[in-house]
Chains A and B, each alone.
Chain A
């Protein structure tokens, strides 16, 4: 994917990641990046199915809290916003495995 070259380019500007993270605003609701992934994506859905129960419970709590805040048209106090460094990418290992399995299947099913 072209993102590897793009990622290499943007890695020269470390502050840019943090700026983009804070700009997207989900951290103000106390959410992590993996909480806001598109759940209807089949890979994400399968990775979420494989999450162990305690991670699933924490994620559910964060999402419910965020929905309550959104309903009340407010956000968390600034001290409780998720910090860029503390953002836990808990779903990535499972997601990587799911994507790897799908790619393996597609390789096997190729006709060429």
Chain B
């Protein structure tokens, strides 16, 4: 009963790889490594056929919040909000009912450098649903009334943002200003400015084949390549990313709260130098990336958490190191969530511990096991795996096999991590704070 109306018959009747076998032996594939093809129009197609009963296909574009200009701030966030609304070939109702009929799930994810439309379906229904995914990702109609009808949903999401998320967002704004510093979320005063034309212009500029990757998990490469070839995209390169500069700035936002959420960082490593990025990821584990035991404060293995717990005495406090790497910049620091009366002491203690991280062989060994475990756990699930290969495909153009990444982790020496710790101890700091900031020190008061 799918697609009863003539409007959709044209879409739903297209079949790919009609000779796919009806019954596939359901054993897990030996290798999780992706097969990559780069099409002549520079579109990257990557897939991992792990014989999973659930198939996922994602269309990634290099069109995250860093590519917004001052005229369309928040376009990436709004794109995510309106994902799945009317396209040029199907109405919103038709898309919803058809996907429901086929038992498929559509999600949209936006980061600072990417946007991804993901479709998950059982492996026998992934073929007919692919058409919808390609429509939704590239042929949005941006009907003006649908965009304005989506504004209440946008406001609801903005109202539900947690204070730590806002603090980290503000940290990026303080450290990078524009580009990577653009907020991941639409500012409330910009909601009315995102018209149908603005959204269409953003899509036309950034949704080109040179900035696109079509990735799949649990699907065959032979299914994905023709589907990716049928994506009718412009082949321009699109605007280049502005090289980010790190500014040692601070941003504070006082809100009604009993707590203070502070994010502090120095320059970290970018993904362009893979070894540096891995070194900082290891340093993140050394400094303390969150407790390994649920509900503990992680003070046993995390210098950052230990410093915060000592400063907070009897109060409940949470602090962990923070590390993020983008394609040409990175941030390394800590995030502290503390009751407002001890926030000052906690922030000072955390900064002191960041500035004096000791790196021993045992620390690095532990960090390596933790990092490897985290990477393998994240890519164990289909959704984690597709996000991982999608980001690599769209930002780097190729997908490294996991053995290569694990080998890279092993190749980092204690001296490398110690050198990274030295950079952190002497680097300039950027800071962002949200909450009750009466006790939180200003940046020039922190050493």
Q: Which among A101, A105, A107, A108 has the greatest number of chain B C-beta atoms within 10 A? A: A108
Contact B144 A108 (CB under 8 A): no
Which residues in window 97-142 of B have CB below 8 A to A?
Answer: 97
| Known contacts A107-B4, A108-B97, A101 near B91 by CB under 8 Å | yes
Q: With both chains docked as a complex, state the minimum distance between the C-beta of A105 and any C-beta of chain B, in angstroms.
A: 6
Contact A52 B94 (CB under 8 A): no
Q: Map CB proximity to B onto A11-52 as digits: 1 under 8 Å, 0 otherwise.
A: 000000000000000000000000000000000000001101
Q: With both chains docked as a complex, state the minimum distance between the C-beta of B152 and any C-beta of chain A, in angstroms.
A: 15
A interface residues, Cβ below 8 angstroms from B: 49-50, 52, 100-101, 103-105, 107-108
- In the assembled complex, 16 residue pairs joining A and B whose CB atoms fall closer than 8 Å, in A order, are A50-B143, A50-B145, A52-B144, A100-B91, A101-B91, A101-B93, A104-B5, A104-B7, A104-B91, A104-B93, A104-B94, A105-B93, A107-B5, A108-B4, A108-B93, A108-B97
With A100-B91, A101-B91, A104-B5 given, name 17 new contacts (CB 8 A). A50-B143, A50-B144, A50-B145, A52-B144, A100-B7, A101-B93, A103-B5, A104-B7, A104-B91, A104-B93, A104-B94, A105-B93, A107-B4, A107-B5, A108-B4, A108-B93, A108-B97
Which residues of chain A are near B93, meaning CB under 8 Å?
101, 104-105, 108
Q: How many B residues face the partner with a CB closer than 8 A?
A: 10
- With the chains together, A52 CA to B91 CA distance in Å? 19
For residue A110, which residue of chain B has the nearest CB? B4
Q: Map CB proximity to A onto B1-43 as digits: 1 under 8 Å, 0 otherwise.
A: 0001101000000000000000000000000000000000000
- With the chains together, A64 CA to B93 CA distance in Å? 36
The 4 closest A-B pairs by CB, nearest first: A50-B145, A107-B4, A104-B5, A108-B97
Summarize B's interface: helix, strand, loop or mixed. Answer: helix
For residue B94, which residue of chain A has the nearest CB? A104
Which residues of chain A are near B91, meaning CB under 8 Å?
100-101, 104
B interface residues, Cβ below 8 angstroms from A: 4-5, 7, 91, 93-94, 97, 143-145
- With the chains together, A107 CA to B1 CA distance in Å? 10
- With the chains together, A107 CA to B94 CA distance in Å? 11
Which residues of chain A are near B145, meaning CB under 8 Å?
49-50
Which residues of chain B are near A49, meaning CB under 8 Å?
145
- With the chains together, A105 CA to B94 CA distance in Å? 8
- With the chains together, A93 CA to B93 CA distance in Å? 19
- With the chains together, A105 CA to B97 CA distance in Å? 9
Q: Which among A50, A52, A101, A104 has the greatest number of chain B C-beta atoms within 10 A? A: A104
Q: With both chains docked as a complex, state the minimum distance between the C-beta of A57 and any C-beta of chain B, in angstroms.
A: 15
- With the chains together, A104 CA to B97 CA distance in Å? 11
Which residues of chain B are near A50, meaning CB under 8 Å?
143-145
- With the chains together, A105 CA to B93 CA distance in Å? 8
For residue B92, which residue of chain A has the nearest CB? A101
- With the chains together, A49 CA to B144 CA distance in Å? 11
Q: With both chains docked as a complex, state the minimum distance between the C-beta of B151 and any C-beta of chain A, in angstroms.
A: 14
Q: With both chains docked as a complex, state the minimum distance between the C-beta of B289 and any C-beta of chain A, in angstroms.
A: 48
Q: With both chains docked as a complex, state the minimum distance between the C-beta of A50 and any C-beta of chain B, in angstroms.
A: 4
For residue B90, which residue of chain A has the nearest CB? A104
Which residues of chain A are near B7, meaning CB under 8 Å?
100, 104
- With the chains together, A52 CA to B195 CA distance in Å? 12
For residue A104, which residue of chain B has the nearest CB? B5
- With the chains together, A101 CA to B95 CA distance in Å? 12
Q: With both chains docked as a complex, state the minimum distance between the C-beta of B101 and any C-beta of chain A, in angstroms.
A: 9
Q: With both chains docked as a complex, state the minimum distance between the C-beta of B253 and any C-beta of chain A, in angstroms.
A: 35
For residue A53, which residue of chain B has the nearest CB? B144
Which residues of chain B are near A101, meaning CB under 8 Å?
91, 93
Q: With both chains docked as a complex, state the minimum distance between the C-beta of A95 and any C-beta of chain B, in angstroms.
A: 13
